[in-house]
Amino acid sequence: MTPLSSYLVLAAIIFFIGLLGALTRRHAIIVLICIELMLNAANLNFIAFWRFNPHPEAMLGPIFVLFSIAVAGSEAAVGLALVISIYRFYRSVDVEKMNALQG
């Protein structure tokens, strides 16, 4: 059986890929996809910890993951809607150009 550490390492790799993507890429949709990646890395952690828990009959991990996927879905919907309206306003989806909130 694959040990827990492999799952955790995989999740960490996915998380950091997502984080780096979110920090470095300028395309808004890519940033959203990277955020999804980080969320899914966290979900993977939940499932892994649940699977190696001494009491897997307590369905805590899957429930959290289900919630998390639902939240991620709605977040993606809101994010995409925002991206579309930003595109309509700026004619661009470059996050570097969206600096109207600067102090």
Partner 1 sequence: MFPIPWLPFIPLCPLVASIVIFTMKPAWSRIAAGVAISAMAMSTVLAFAALSTTFTHPQVVATSFDWFSVGDQHFDFGFILNPLTGSTAAMVTFVGLLIFIYSAAYMEHDENKTCFFGYLSLFAFGMLGLVISNSLLLLFMCWEIVGLASYLLIGFWYQKPSAAAAAKKAFITTRIGDLGFLLGLFWVYRETGTFLFYHYGSGILEPGPLAALASSPGFWGFSAAGAISLLIFAGAMGKSGQFPLHVWLPDAMEGPTPVSALIHAATMVAAGVFLVARTYPLFALDGRVLAIVAWVGVGTALFAAIIAVAQFDIKRILAYSTISQLGLMMAGIGVGGPPIGMFHLLTHAFFKALLFLGAGSIIHGCHGEQDIRKMGGIARPMPVTTLAYLCGVLALCAFPFTSGYFSKDEILLSAWHSNPAIFWVAAIASLLTAFYMTRQCCYVFLGVYRNEEHRHPHESSWVMVGPLLILAIFALAGGAVAHMNGILEYLGDKEPLVVNSTVVVIGWIISLGGISLGFLAYGLRPLTATGSDPFALTILGRAFYLDEIYAATFGRLVTVLSYLAEIVDAILLIVTELLVFIAREFSLLFAFKTDRVVIDRWFFDDICSNLRSLGGVVTRPQDGLLSNYLRSIALGSLLLAILFWCCHS
26 sits near partner 1 (criterion: CB under 8 A): yes
Contact range with partner 1 by CB under 8 A, out of 1-9, 57-65, 73-81, 93-101: 93-101
List helix spans (H) across the chain.
4-24, 28-51, 60-90
Q: Does 19 bind partner 1 (CB under 8 A)?
A: yes
Q: To the nearest whole angstrom, how small is the minimum distance from the Cβ of residue 98 to partner 1? A: 6
Segment contacting partner 1 by CB under 8 A, of 4-12, 17-25, 63-71, 73-81: 17-25
Residue 100 binds partner 1, judged by CB under 8 A:
yes
Listed in sequence order, the residues at least 6 apart from 29 whose beta carbon sits closer than 8 Å to its beta carbon are 80, 83, 93
In order of 24, 39, 64, 67, 69, the CA distances from 73 in angstroms are: 23, 11, 14, 10, 6
* HSE-CB of 17 using CA atoms within 13 angstroms: 14
Q: Write down the least CB distance from residue 103 to partner 1, Å.
A: 3
Residue with tokens 């995409």, as numbered in its chain: 80
Chain residues that interact with partner 1, rule: CB under 8 A? 19, 22-24, 26, 31, 95-96, 98-103
